[in-house]
């Protein structure tokens, strides 16, 4: 009889956990996964995918407006939030079924239960069962942080935003990171009055400043109001459902919905990791080495719970590398440089590699090339909004070490150019590439 019930027990069927389960099983391991909510995790159920669908949907407001000039006429345009919300929910159901099938097709046993660690090789399930495994993978993700202020129970987080009963007329968004700016863009495009409030006076800290300044300018012109440096101090809810949102050092704002997006914290509360001798980090994260190994030799962790880079493709790669290392006989780590990322704001921005400030802080000699241009589509429709691209080039080697862009389709363009940056191509290689005309991406090879 086997010494343990399973070779691998995964806690959390999200981006990292599902990939690790599937690959470990393909290497011949007996695998089970516990999921306390819905298979697919944050990205599929209440993150990247439903968010992207809302971004698409909201962009139609502008597209439909533009079609009038192109000879199209429609009847009166109306928007039905409930129809969009329910369509998003049905697509999430479809994806959950697909992820659940993936587990079954790969012979991964799925327990619909919350799991807690009870020792180096054992977990307890919320349905009362106890299970043993040779290895345990912690892939429980992260959870929205709600700052403490009176009335914060009236605010929602990104978990709830996909289920709003009606489209709010006035929305206050607290935070100026990815989630805040993506939802500010969605609500603004859908016609809501949007105010973004933030503790600091910067938006999207860590992104190339030239891009974030451009985003601030364009979105302010599109109607988003900013109260930067004035975080929420309290929310008072009235009998009619409306709210008064008090700010530090600024006038209060009336709102119908307050969305708080002030970061996500590893979901390790009550997970029992201390029973395996694992001490959590200051933000509740599970400390791991480059091979995703924790201080307990039988326990590994991947994804948001490790608080390294909170992005789906990173969680997936970590899960895959863990499975190859422990069950595939091919130990490997993943590279954290050159991770492309995008903010699906309106317009979107995207970047890979070093920002100008980061390169200078490293003391590098750099050359900076920029293109500040009006995308052709904006020209057609008399929109003044300009795109902005920036290349950071290492002066000594001529290698392109950073690409940053804001403008229509920039996440799509950035993914392709990220290959060139990862491959270490030089500015001369960019210059030698013939432009594809007419496109926005051609600006990348025309900067002199
Ligand atoms: C609104 C939003 C938009 C986002 N947009 C993007 C984007 O555009 N691009 C991008 O790359 N990233 C995006 N992200 C981030 C991305 O979703 C995460 O980085 C990714 O899902 C992390 O994967 P993970 O496997 O670490 O955790 P998760 O996907 O969060 O999976 C963890 C799973 O563990 C389960 N779980 C937790 N505790 C237990 C327990 N004790 N027992 C059983 N199950 C448990 C949870 O229910 C969850 O299903 C977004 C996030 C949010 C919130
Ligand atoms: N497009 C994408 O790839 C995408 C989209 C959404 C989320 N994500 C991932 O999810 C993670 C979480 O997103 P997020 O937007 O919640 O976090 P974030 O870290 O991007 O931004 C948090 C914001 O909240 C502010 N803040 C923090 N504490 C505060 C407080 N107490 N009071 C007021 N303001 C405060 C910060 O100044 C910052 O502007 C991101 O780090 C990202 O990795 C990625």
Question: SS3 of 394, please?
Answer: strand
Q: Which ligand is nearest to the CA of 174?
A: 2
Beta strands (DSSP E) in 28-81 are 31-34
437 is a catalytic site residue: yes
Pocket test for ligand 2, best of 179, 203, 310, 351 (most atoms within 8 A of CB): 179
The structure's pTM equals: 0.97
Domain 152-262: give its CATH code: 3.50.50.60
What is the Å distance from ligand 2's center to 353 Cα? Answer: 20
Distance 11 CA to ligand 1 centre (A): 12
Ranges of each domain in the chain: 6-144+265-326, 152-262, 347-445
Q: What average pLDDT score do residues 430-439 get? A: 97
Given the residues 27, 320, 338, 437, the one annotated as active site: 437
Whether residue 1 is predicted with pLDDT greater than 70 in this model: the reply is: no
Domain spanning 6-144+265-326: which CATH class is it, in words? alpha beta
Q: How far apart are CA 332 and CA 323, in angstroms?
A: 10
- Find out whether the peptide bond into 122 is cis, omega within 30 degrees of 0: no
Query: Is residue 179 lining ligand 2, measured as CB closer than 6 Å?
Result: yes
* pLDDT tens digit sequence for 27-71: 999 999 999 999 999 999 999 999 999 999 999 999 998 998 899
Summarised one tens digit per residue, pLDDT across range 81-107 is 999 999 999 999 999 999 999 999 999
Report the C-alpha gap between 38 and 9 in whole angstroms. Answer: 17
ipTM of the complex: 0.97
> What is the CA(374)–ligand 2 centre distance, in A?
29
Q: Could you confirm whether domain 347-445 is CATH 3.30.390.30?
A: yes
* Predicted pLDDT of residue 377: 86
State the helix-helix crossing angle for 81-105 and 15-26, rounded to 10 degrees.
20
pLDDT in tens, 9-25: 999 999 999 999 999 99
Q: How confident is the model at residue 2 (pLDDT cuts 50, 70, 90)?
A: confident
Query: Rounded to whole angstroms, what are the CA distances from 124 to 11, 29, 110, 116, 210?
Result: 11, 21, 14, 5, 50
Cα separations in angstroms, 74 against 63, 64, 77, 161, 431:
12, 9, 7, 30, 45
If you measure from the C-alpha of residue 266 to the centroid of ligand 1, how many angstroms do you get, rounded to a whole number?
10
Q: Ligand 1, residues 22, 136, 140: which to mutate, most atoms within 8 A of Cβ?
A: 140
Q: What is the DSSP letter of 426?
A: B
Tens digit of each residue's pLDDT (9 = 90 or more) over 314-335:
999 999 999 999 999 999 999 9
Region class of 26: left (phi > 0), else alpha (psi between -120 and 50), else beta: alpha
Q: Do the domains at 152-262 and 347-445 have one common CATH topology?
A: no
Mean pLDDT of 204-218: 97
**Percent of the chain residues past pLDDT 90, beyond the cut:** 95
Average pLDDT over residues 213-232: 97
> In angstroms, rounded to a whole number, what is the distance separating the alpha carbons of residues 83 and 91?
12
The mean pLDDT value for 347-365 works out to: 98
Mean pLDDT (the chain) is 97
């Amino acid at each position: 009889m086997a010494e343990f019930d399973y070779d691998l027990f995964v806690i959390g069927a999200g981006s990292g956990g599902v990939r690790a389960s599937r690959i470990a099983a393909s290497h011949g391991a007996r695998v089970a996964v516990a999921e306390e909510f819905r298979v697919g995790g944050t990205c599929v159920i209440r993150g990247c995918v439903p968010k992207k669908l809302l971004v698409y949907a909201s962009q139609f407001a502008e597209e439909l407006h533009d079609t009038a000039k192109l000879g199209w006429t429609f009847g009166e345009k109306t928007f039905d939030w409930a129809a969009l919300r329910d369509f998003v929910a049905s697509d999430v159901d479809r994806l959950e079924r697909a992820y659940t099938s993936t587990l079954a097709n790969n012979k991964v046993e799925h327990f619909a239960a919350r799991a807690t660690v009870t020792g180096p090789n054992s977990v307890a399930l919320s349905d009362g069962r106890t299970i043993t495994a040779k290895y345990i993978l912690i892939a429980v993700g992260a959870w929205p942080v709600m700052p403490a202020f009176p009335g914060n129970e009236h605010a929602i987080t990104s978990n709830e935003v996909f289920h709003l009963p009606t489209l709010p007329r006035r929305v206050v968004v607290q935070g100026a990171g990815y989630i805040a700016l993506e939802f500010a863009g969605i609500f603004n495009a859908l016609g809501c009055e949007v105010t973004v409030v933030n503790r600091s006076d910067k938006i999207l800290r860590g992104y190339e400043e030239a891009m974030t300044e451009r985003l601030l300018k364009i979105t302010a012109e599109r109607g988003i109001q900013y109260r930067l440096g004035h975080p929420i101090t309290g929310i008072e809810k009235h009998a009619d459902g409306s709210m008064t949102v008090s700010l530090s050092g600024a006038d209060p704002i009336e709102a119908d919905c307050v969305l708080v997006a002030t970061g996500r914290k590893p979901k390790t509360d009550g997970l029992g990791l201390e029973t395996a001798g694992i001490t959590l980090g200051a933000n509740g994260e599970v400390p791991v080495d480059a091979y995703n190994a924790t201080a307990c030799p039988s326990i590994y962790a991947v994804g948001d719970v490790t608080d390294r880079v909170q992005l789906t493709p990173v969680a997936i790669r970590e899960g895959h590398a863990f499975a190859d290392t422990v069950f595939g006989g091919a130990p490997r780590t993943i590279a954290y440089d050159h991770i492309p990322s995008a903010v699906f704001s309106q317009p979107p921005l995207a970047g890979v590699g070093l920002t100008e400030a980061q390169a200078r802080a490293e003391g590098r000699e750099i050359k900076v090339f920029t293109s500040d241009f009006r995308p052709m589509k904006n020209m057609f429709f008399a929109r003044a909004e300009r795109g902005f691209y920036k290349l950071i080039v290492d002066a000594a080697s001529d290698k392109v070490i950073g690409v940053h862009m804001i403008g229509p389709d920039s996440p799509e363009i950035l993914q392709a150019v990220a290959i060139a940056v990862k491959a270490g191509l030089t500015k001369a290689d960019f210059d030698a590439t013939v432009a594809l005309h007419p496109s926005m991406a051609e600006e990348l090879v025309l900067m002199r």
